[in-house]
Amino acid sequence: MDLAPDLQLPSIPEVTLRALEACQRDESYRTISEIVSVDTALVSRVLALVNSALYRPETPIKSVEQALLRLGIRRFHTLLLTAALRQLLFELGGDEWQQLRDFWRHSLTTALTARALATLTRYQEPDEAFMLGMLHNIGELIAVKTLTPEAQEYYISHQPEVAAQLVTTWGLGAMAADAMRYQQALPNELRDASHLVKLISLSTRLALSDAAGIAAATTVFGLNEELTREINRRITHEVSSMAASLSIPLDDDYNGESATRKLKQTILQQAIANQALGLADLQGPVHQVLSETVNSLTLITGLPALCFGHTDDSLVLLSGTAGDTPQFALSAQSGGSVLTEAFTSGQPVSLGTRTPTVLDRQLLSLLRSPSLLAVPVVAGNERPGVFALGTDNENLQTTTELALLFTHQLSTILVERAAEPQPSQTDEIQQELARQHLRSQIHEVSNPLTIIRQYIYQLRNRLDDTEVQQDLDVIGDELDRAGDLLLNMSHNDNAPDETGTTELNTELKDLARILEDSLFSDGSRSLDVLLCDHPTTLAIDAAPLRQIIINLVRNAAESLPEQGGEVLLRTAAPVWQNNRAWVELEITDTGKGIPDQIRASLFSPVATTKGSGHSGLGLSIVKQLIDDMEGIIACRTGHEGTTFRMLLPAASDRKNQTD
């Protein structure tokens, strides 16, 4: 049977819900990918979409973590939302819920066993073994919602072929397809098979926890019985712990209806918050944006709301939906009221049964409501404002969830806006680069013109013929006019056309001259450039490359201590990794290193910490730009400084792929 690469398969709703919550809490890339990786339907959805024509990766994405790094948290979150919406279309009965739970337990047990065996036998990519363990019996999952008994029987009896076909479609490679295809081979047939094939086949047998699996471990990898049983016990305990953390019963009857209802509520809340924010004008200054969004908050909660902006250690009433908005300003320091406590703590605070302060009573009067909920807007380390909602305490939990969801998404938008480089600075540098590029070309043209002019002058002095002298004067005048035209062109701000390739060393030379004048002119700081001799032609346009370099060098310069320091730009080529040719760029500073609170979410948008380390504001943009060009970025940091290492796609690699 032919299978579409993007299958609609049922998930364990508890896993999907946990993954959405992790995205909403801005958990790390690793945490989110670990959650998604334990559900076969989500894994297949991610691999199918990220390797589709929509995203067009130059090399196939072979893991959930790679997919997440490629897409970024926001786009990955959207992918999860669409996958979750699909789950709502499945209406499973009692037996089907049991089948889904048993399938999940077996696939997870197989995956964890495959990873443990891969580590034990020193297979280079244990995460690959884990993922294939999750996918090995996908035919059984397809059969859960297949309508006809004949089709169900086909998918169950042809699981190896089904899994191999899908793995090939997703671009996971020939070895991965073979691991699926030969998963049911007899142990005696596997003695000289590839490492990955042996891992998956043995893992599927050990997941059954029977004597045949124990014996197969000795045949395939030479593992003794005691060690194999210990692996089984540890994996069984790990699966039980994970099930307990997700509230999935393994020994009693399982029904996912309750988790599905909560999942539906979460999806609706997120969709409503997104839609409401889309109705607001999110352009202009931050306070103007906050003023605009208070109407959207009332729209999704159905409650009157006030919006306070933070200015000069004061909270100023910006707008509201409860009638006329008076002029109202107060100290941002906590004085016991719901509003100031929420603002200073960064957490939502409800009036509840506490005795209201005078400020609480003033807000209750403005909102014309019996109770009050205050929800701050926390954008990184900044708190630009706080919302006050009039409530009745009856649906407080739902209201709080909606308000938190709304302010979180609003905060994400504000942080991303703050992370964008200042247009005036970027434009100025881009224009100066264009001018320098044009001037260098004009200089090359001007040199021969000067030589010709000198020869004409010497020739004229040797001739006595007046008419010939006059002709030479005309030629000289025309050369002077051409020179003037070139001089005027050298002041033209139009940038040269992009060709789709960029010479990294040339760009670094041009940028270094400008950045030295703007960031390293005080004498205490230095910018050094160490360029390799090998060509560094990249398969990317110049504009995004310049933005990456400018952001990282600016961050590096700002991290240097007041007494001075050094920023070093270094290139190396060619570099071979993952069977591809790259050009390496390292940007190193001698600053104090990146603070711990920034490292945890290094490439996520965060508020500035300028003066005590890298700001982090431009790093989310840098990461997205490098992802878009199919590059790789890594960071190492400590008390002696910070280094960002980038592998950028070499133009020679693209040519080889085309050939």
CATH number, residue 147 = 1.10.3210.10
Tokens in use for 312? 């000069």
Q: Which residue has the tokens 């807000």?
A: 363
Strand order in the sheet with 382-391: 329-331, 314-320, 305-311, 382-391, 371-379, 349-350
Last residue of a domain, which of 382, 399, 419? 419
> Residue 317 carries which side chain, given as an amino acid letter?
L
Predicted confidence (pLDDT) per residue in 285-313, tens digit: 888 888 888 888 888 888 899 999 998 88
Count of C-beta atoms within a 10 Å radius of residue 537: 19
> Residue 286 carries which side chain, given as an amino acid letter?
V
- Of the pLDDT bands very low, low, confident and very high (cuts 50, 70, 90), residue 504 is very high
In angstroms, the CA 648 to CA 656 distance is 15
Q: Domain check: are 147 and 184 in the same one?
A: yes
**Beta partners for residue 526, in sequence order:** 566
Last residue of a domain, which of 437, 455, 489? 489
Contacts of 156 (CB under 8 A, 6+ apart): 139, 140, 143
CB 265 within 8 A of CB 37: no
Q: Domain check: are 88 and 102 in the same one?
A: no
- pLDDT of 586 above 80: yes
Query: Taking Cα atoms as reference points, which of 39, 1, 47 lies closest to residue 20?
Result: 39
Could you give the C-alpha distances from 46 to 64, 75, 268, 495, in angstroms and in order?
7, 11, 21, 40
Mean pLDDT of the chain: 81
pLDDT score recorded for residue 430: 63
- Of the pLDDT bands very low, low, confident and very high (cuts 50, 70, 90), residue 658 is very low
Strand (E) or helix (H) holding 581: strand 580-589
Last residue of a domain, which of 202, 221, 254? 254
Span 189-207, average pLDDT: 92
Q: Which residue has the tokens 């260098």?
A: 440
Per the domain annotation, does 496 fall within a domain?
no
In angstroms, the CA 592 to CA 588 distance is 12
Q: Domain check: are 558 and 548 in the same one?
A: yes
In angstroms, the CA 145 to CA 24 distance is 30
CA dihedral (544, 547, 551, 557) positive or negative: positive
User: For residue 192, how far is the Cα from the chain centroid?
Assistant: 41
Predicted TM-score (pTM) of the model is 0.57
Predicted confidence (pLDDT) per residue in 137-179, tens digit: 999 988 887 768 888 888 888 899 999 999 998 888 899 999 9
Per the domain annotation, does 455 fall within a domain?
yes
Instruction: Compare 386 and 52 and report the one with higher pLDDT.
Output: 386
Per the domain annotation, does 572 fall within a domain?
yes
> Residue 170 carries which side chain, given as an amino acid letter?
W
Contacts of 454 (CB under 8 A, 6+ apart): none
Q: Domain check: are 105 and 222 in the same one?
A: yes
Q: Domain check: are 444 and 552 in the same one?
A: no
Q: Domain check: are 203 and 301 in the same one?
A: no
Domain extent, residue 333, equals 279-419
In angstroms, the CA 381 to CA 199 distance is 46
CATH label of the domain that carries residue 586 = 3.30.565.10
Per the domain annotation, does 530 fall within a domain?
yes
Per the domain annotation, does 497 fall within a domain?
no
User: For residue 616, how far is the Cα from the chain centroid?
Assistant: 14
Span 507-524, average pLDDT: 78
- pLDDT of 510 above 90: no
Q: Domain check: are 518 and 473 in the same one?
A: no
Predicted confidence (pLDDT) per residue in 7-33, tens digit: 778 888 999 889 888 887 778 878 888
pLDDT score recorded for residue 523: 75
Q: Which residue has the tokens 């909602």?
A: 389
- pLDDT of 399 above 50: yes
pLDDT score recorded for residue 289: 85
Span 456-483, average pLDDT: 64
The count of structural domains within the chain is 5
Span 379-397, average pLDDT: 86
- pLDDT of 238 above 90: yes
Could you give the C-alpha distances from 246 to 13, 42, 200, 252, 256, in angstroms and in order?
10, 16, 26, 15, 11
pLDDT score recorded for residue 493: 43
Per the domain annotation, does 2 fall within a domain?
no
Instruction: Compare 53 and 539 and report the one with higher pLDDT.
Output: 539
> Helices 73-87 and 64-71 sit at what angle, rounded to 10 degrees?
120
Q: Domain check: are 102 and 249 in the same one?
A: yes
Tokens in use for 238? 């790990």
Count of C-beta atoms within a 10 Å radius of residue 127: 19
Q: Which residue has the tokens 């159905």?
A: 302
Predicted confidence (pLDDT) per residue in 608-624, tens digit: 444 443 444 467 778 88
Predicted confidence (pLDDT) per residue in 309-347, tens digit: 998 889 999 999 887 888 899 998 888 899 999 999 999
Q: Domain check: are 27 and 75 in the same one?
A: yes
In angstroms, the CA 287 to CA 505 distance is 43
In angstroms, the CA 553 to CA 528 distance is 11
Q: Domain check: are 42 and 99 in the same one?
A: no
CATH label of the domain that carries residue 369 = 3.30.450.40
Per the domain annotation, does 214 fall within a domain?
yes
Q: Domain check: are 525 and 641 in the same one?
A: yes
Per the domain annotation, does 56 fall within a domain?
yes
Q: Domain check: are 520 and 638 in the same one?
A: yes
